[in-house]
Structure 1
Amino acid sequence: MTAATKAGLELATFGAGCFWGTEKYFRKQFGANLKSFAAGYMGGASKATYKDVCTGMTNHAEVLQVSYEPNQLAYGDLVRFFFRMHDPTTLNRQGNDQGTQYRSVIFTHTKEQQRIAEQIRDEVQASGKIKGKIVTQIQSADGLQFFMAEPYHQRYLENHPDGYCNHKLYY
């Protein structure tokens, strides 16, 4: 059990390409409704640095991990926004960023999150709002560890407003 779950908070972890843009868009959309934000790496077997992850050899994805109070913010709202703020139809790519570290992925922390993420993915696909087949991986976080990215990656676009970001709202 993590400190977040002990405090009555739940974790949500999303990979939507570069974590700088993912963090920027989630902060803008949900702000104070999210209790914590951390850019990091998830999916690989061991701790890695940004330089390691950029090789594409670690199996980590760049992710944003947030904590939230489920009685104030629904997990489904986070997932719906995730599908809006990046292109979930491009395999291992967002804009010019290519490689497995930029894959579209949702790491679920409970069976209920898994069910909700799969249901919303299917609803978004059926809605026609996304052109093309959604390739987002929905993967259990069981047995995986989140590794916080280096300090300079936290709030990167807030601290570097002219920084590069591929994200936009798709619908």
Structure 2
Amino acid sequence: MTIDTITLGGGCFWCLEAVYEKVDGVTAVESGYANGHVAHPTYEQVCRGDTGHAEVVRVSFDTERITLREILEIFFTIHDPTTLDRQGNDVGTQYRSGIFFHTPEQERIAREVLAQVNAHHQGRAVTQLQPVASYSRAEEYHQHYFANHPEQGYCAFVVAPKVEKFRKTFASRVKA
């Protein structure tokens, strides 16, 4: 088993985490904050939008079972890469679309996938591509949020439809 890790931002981290926890080949998902200028920010600080951080998930995956390209194809299916600093009703720089790579090889693959996405969206993709920086794990109550709170309003009306879209679109990639 060879494990690789990529950091992704695509709106609220609860949505991304809920999907990637169901992906066959993904070994771990952690919600956190990345690419801001405040050391170890709190959720409240990030929500105010003045730390520069994005809400992100760190996705660790077994490269013998799923490729980074497949991880990114899922990413671009479950969020809108054409809305600047927003996903649905979540608005602010903390909800920006971003691929925060850990290695030059990840950057190369992400550039290829992003070019395809941008072509598909007639050049309107606003997804940032940057090296991961100043990462902090989110507070414990954010970890596995959807799994622990499926009936909570936001989870039921925003997260659950994204999970269902993943299940339908990538049925062969859903964990048994």
**What TM-score do the two structures reach when normalised by structure 1?**
0.85
Bigger drift between 102-111 and 61-70 goes to: 61-70
Contact 2:20–2:59 (CA<8 Å) still a contact in 1? no
What pairs with 1:9-88 in structure 2 (closer than 5 Å)?
A: 9-28=3-22, 30-31=23-24, 33-45=25-37, 46-88=39-81
How far did residue 102 of structure 1 move?
0.3
d(CA) in 2 for partners of 1:22, 1:36: 12
Which of 132, 153, 162 is the equivalent residue of 2:142?
153
Tell me how far apart the structure 2 counterparts of residues 159 and 139 of structure 1 sit (CA, whole Å).
31
Correspondence for 1:3: none
Unmatched segments (≥5 aa) in structure 2: 170-176
1:61 deviates by 0.4
SS of alignment partner, residue 21 of structure 2: helix
Q: Distance in 2 between matches of 1:42 and 1:124?
A: 23
Aligned-residue CA RMSD in angstroms?
1.9
SS in 1 for 2:141: helix
Compute the displacement of 1:8 (Å): 4.3
Secondary structure in structure 1 of the residue aligned to 2:45 = helix
Aligned to 1:140: 131
Amino acid at match of 2:13: F
Question: Quick one: distance in 2 between partners of 1:159 and 1:99?
Answer: 26
Query: What is the TM-score when the length of structure 2 is the normalising length?
Result: 0.83
Q: Is the 8 Å Cα contact of residues 82 and 126 (structure 2) preserved in structure 1?
A: yes
Confirm or deny that 1:108 pairs with 2:97.
no
Structure with bigger helix share is 2
1:25 partner SS? helix
Give 1:125 deviation, angstroms.
2.4
Q: CA deviation at 1:63?
A: 0.3
- The CA distance in 1 between the partners of 2:110 and 2:65, in whole Å, is 18
Q: When the two structures are aligned, how many residues end up with a matched partner?
A: 159
